[in-house]
Amino acid sequence: MTTISPDILALQEHLAGRYSIETELGRGGMGIVLLARDVALDRLVAIKLLPESLAADPEYRKRFLREARTAAGLSHPNIVPIHLVEAHDELVFFVMGFVDGESLRQRVERSGPLSPRLAMKLMQDVAYALAYAHQREVVHRDIKPDNIMVEQGTDRALVTDFGIALGRDEAARGAGEVIGTARYMSPEQAVGEAVDARSDLYALGATFYYAVTGRAVFDGAHVHAILASQITKRAPSLIAARPDVPEKFAAVVDRCLVKDAEERWQTGDDLARAIGEVRGRDLRAPPLVRSFVRNAQITTMAVLAVLVAGSGAGVGTDGGVSFNGGPGAIGMILLIQLLFTARRLLREGYAFDNIRQALLAEARIQEEEAEVLKHYRWVRWLNAQWQRTWAGWFGRKFFQMAGIGLKPRKRLALPSADATEMVLGRSTMAAFDALPEAARGHAVEVRRVVDRLEARAERLRAEGNTGDPLNNTVAALEKLRLVMLKVQAGLASVEDLTGVLEEAKEIGVAVDRRIEAGEAVERL
């Protein structure tokens, strides 16, 4: 944890034993977002904390908790899930699912406008999420590129930030209030009229107009100018701004952006179905991954065919077929093409494991097709060789070679396979090593206590005991780390470290007794 602000230290003290904060992900007007680990389930989560300065304001506090409780009532694969909502004096926070990816805005800023195919997939995901929310009488009111997360590796879209969402009755009573993001706000929202599901669908159309073109439907020097355009000007056609977009998809987006709500798509389900008709068959993997898989199959089969033929085909003077040359030139051209695709995949943040999963999925699909078509066993064996080649040792080495000299896109590091207590133990010792030399008089004792707590937590987890004993053990580790960070920041003294160290020893002894008692009961 690199940030040691008082807000975060207080939160970690409160959460010790349940969640272990790793780093700060970002800050916005309504909160600090932190990456943490769920101790019992040993998974990554995100925690959104309302800063203490805002937690004291009743209006901010109410809005923040409303966001959490509204989203917590929604359970859908395209909505970021909320696991926990709590308010304790100045500590107001909620725990939500961690999305390993980036916002739609970040994606466009990093890679440029989306391909029509990817835009259709993401827009359909969000339309399904909104349909689900609308059926439960929740109007989001702030659909925009920043509030749509795109999951790395799967390109799944997830809706987040229900901070200004309203129930249907609240939305009907909300006339006169202009709140939201001007570039993506529906005309009725811009003039302060009551809004419903169709307002979210307008915002969705404006969001994907931006995603496909790289610019907003309406822009201006200030908010009032943008709002005036939303109210009075007709939205430009998507196909005029991006001619290569399929006409049917452009028509879907254009209908979202009609001024009269009665003429728009009326429900998220209607919109999702319309996009589905344009998309056709669902994609199994992100386009860049599928491109590599397809090219890998063609390359492998072509090289195998040339090798089997001997050394290249030619026609002799007597009309017979002869072979000359060799597979080198063909194989080299195809492999170079694959190398460029592999390097682009690595730059985009993909890894060999992502490709391997796609290869194995394609292998299962082809095996099912072979069963139906009753292919001979030797044909099926031959077809499987390219998948085994690229999913195994050769594929891994190929990607290692492709990555030479590359600086992959910086992404948040995912946790290791180690359990939380192991990661926390390393972090605790790193915090201890960073203390001033005068404060490191307990070096041997700290290491012994940390090792003991790690071992106890590992044993409890192995036995399936993820209740209070495990929570207390990990909490002791967490408190050790926190007091060291406080000493480092000048917020605590060496005497505080001594006191926490004694508490940690007592917890270790108590856990030992509990384990021994459990073993005695088992023997009996």
Higher pLDDT, 367 or 217: 217
Measured between alpha carbons, how far is residue 254 from residues 225, 241, 313 in Å?
22, 12, 54
Per-residue pLDDT at 369: 63
Q: First and final CA of the chain: distance in angstroms? A: 45
Write out pLDDT tens, residues 55-84. 888 888 888 888 788 888 888 889 998 888
- The reported pLDDT for the residue numbered 361 is 66
pLDDT at 370: 67
3-state SS, residue 176:
coil
Greater confidence, 322 or 131? Answer: 131
pLDDT above 70: percentage of residues in the chain: 78
Q: What percent of the chain has pLDDT over 90?
A: 23
Q: Cα(454)–Cα(478) distance, rounded to whole angstroms? A: 11
- Let me know if 142 is a catalytic residue: yes
Residue 112 in tokens: 């440029």
Q: What are phi and psi of 46, to 5 degrees?
A: -115, 140
Q: Are 192 and 177 spatial neighbours (Cβ–Cβ below 8 Å)?
A: yes
Amino acid found at 402: A
User: Higher pLDDT residue, 301 or 212?
Assistant: 212
Residue 283 has pLDDT above 70, yes or no: no
- Reading the block at residue 350, the tokens are 């993909």
**Segment of 59-73, 230-244, 372-386 carrying the highest mean pLDDT:** 230-244
Residue 313, pLDDT score: 44
Angle at 240 between CA 238 and CA 241, to 5 degrees: 70
Structure confidence by residue, pLDDT tens digits, 286-331: 666 767 777 777 777 676 666 665 544 444 444 443 444 445 566 6
Segment 250-256 long-range contacts (CB within 8 Å, at least 24 positions apart) = 252/278, 253/123, 253/205, 253/208, 253/209, 253/212, 254/205, 255/205, 256/201, 256/202, 256/204, 256/205, 256/206
pLDDT at position 1 is 47
Q: Which helix H or strand E contains 103, and what residues bound it?
A: strand 101-103
The active-site residue out of 7, 125, 142, 196 is 142
**Highest averaged pLDDT of the listed ranges 205-214, 453-462, 497-506:** 205-214
Give the pLDDT confidence score for residue 249 in this predicted structure.
95
pLDDT of 371: 63
**Which residues have CB under 8 Å from 252's CB, separation 6+?**
265, 271, 274, 275, 278
Asked whether the CA dihedral 39, 45, 48, 51 is positive or negative, the reply is positive
pLDDT score at 372: 61
| Predicted pLDDT at 351 | 75
pLDDT for residue 213: 95
Q: Which pair of structure tokens corresponds to residue 431?
A: 């915090």
Write the burial class of residue 33 (CB in 10 Å: 0-12 exposed, 13-18 middle, 19+ buried). Answer: middle
Total-model pTM: 0.65
Burial zone of 21 (CB within 10 Å; 0-12 exposed, 13-18 middle, 19+ buried): buried
Q: Which range has the worst mean pLDDT, 11-25, 309-323, 340-354?
A: 309-323
